[in-house]
Amino acid sequence: MLFKLILKNIFRARLRSALTLLGLVVAVVAFGLLRTVVDAWYAGSDAASGNRLITRNAISLTFTLPTYYRERVKGVDGVSLISMSNWFGGIYQEPKNFFPQFAVTLPVHFELYPEYVLPPEQMQAMLRDRTGTIVGRAIADQYGWKIGDKIPIQGTIYPGTWEFTVRGIYEGRDEGTLTRQLYFHWDYLNERLKVSFPRAADRTGVLVVGIKDAQRSAEMSQAIDAEFKNSLAETLTETEKAFQLGFVAQSEAIIAAIRIVSFVVIFIILAVVANTMAMAARERISEYATLKALGFAPSFVSRLVIGESIAITLLGALIGIAVSFPVTAAFKSMIGSIFPVFRVSDETLVWQFASMVVVGLLAAIVPAIRSARIKIVDGLRHVA
């Protein structure tokens, strides 16, 4: 009977209930979207492997390292693989078509990243073509690239027009894997630099170091840096996740603001639901008094109020969660390549659902207590 009464009470004031539901849906969608933006900001660091270290110049990323450092890092106990990597930063057709481009050591680089799935025959074709490139599935689909296509990239850091041939398109091991990068031969970049800008040749932006035991990452980072202590180019080695978080930290204030706003949305909708429940409880004082006169305990009345509040918030949560997916997809299509991975995570769904349960409980506490304490005589005298 309690369940039936709750269902009947939800939509007794249809307009008010509909407006409250609309507010709940908007709040759930807004909360989920803001949380998804925060998750997208950390997508790169979350995908980082504990078995990869990044070695860079201790002064700044803008300062490069001599390529012979690679051989010395190879000699450090526990190092399994090592790749050189240079940020290219070119432009495809127009500046808005931004995506990361790297000159890397192949095929070692892809051995370091097993989450990048590339058919062996495509890697072999890449190794045979000095000007070949491997692109991620996301940008291949975005620009309609296919195997054999020519891609002209206008250099910014490295001036000139660089034409690459698509020799491979890699897939992600799962939907959380970034597939918006373009990779080409580090040797090709170095050869052109020797002709056009010799002083920049034989240098690498970072060394991507694969280690055998992730538990020794701190120890090995220190060992690598000790190898180049007091040299002309001292190094800073850190885990790939720490390296990625270094970029995220530059926008920490923005991320913190987004987090705060996401919870402000919840507090606002709490006030809305609390007002709805207070109005509903005032209108039904005589009904609650009648129930008590018929022998129902005060706890039954309080459960009725709390159940109605939770029922309406859960209904809003379920609709809001369902709407979150198409809204997120539409938002992703509008922002383009700003966030390579932009999807509603399981954690966000839990937050959305749990927050509405909490809102339902908090909004009903005061009305439930007042309704349970109403005296029968006073309640029967009340005129809604």
What is the spatial distance between Cα 224 and Cα 235, in angstroms, rounded to a whole number? 8
Q: Mean pLDDT per segment of 10 residues, for the chain of length 384 residues? A: 74 82 90 85 66 91 90 90 92 85 94 92 95 93 93 89 94 83 94 88 92 88 91 90 73 78 87 84 78 81 85 90 89 69 84 90 86 77 59
The pLDDT value given to residue 384: 46
* CA 24 centroid distance within chain: 24
At 93 the three-state DSSP class reads coil
Q: How many CB atoms lie within 10 A of CB 247?
A: 12
- The predicted pLDDT at position 45 comes to 56
Q: Burial, 5: exposed, middle or buried (Cβ in 10 Å; 0-12, 13-18, 19+)?
A: middle
CA–chain centroid gap for 169, Å, is: 23
Residue 223: closest CA among 19, 28, 384, 53 = 53
Residues 119, 167: contact at Cβ < 8 Å?
no
Strand partners, 172: 116
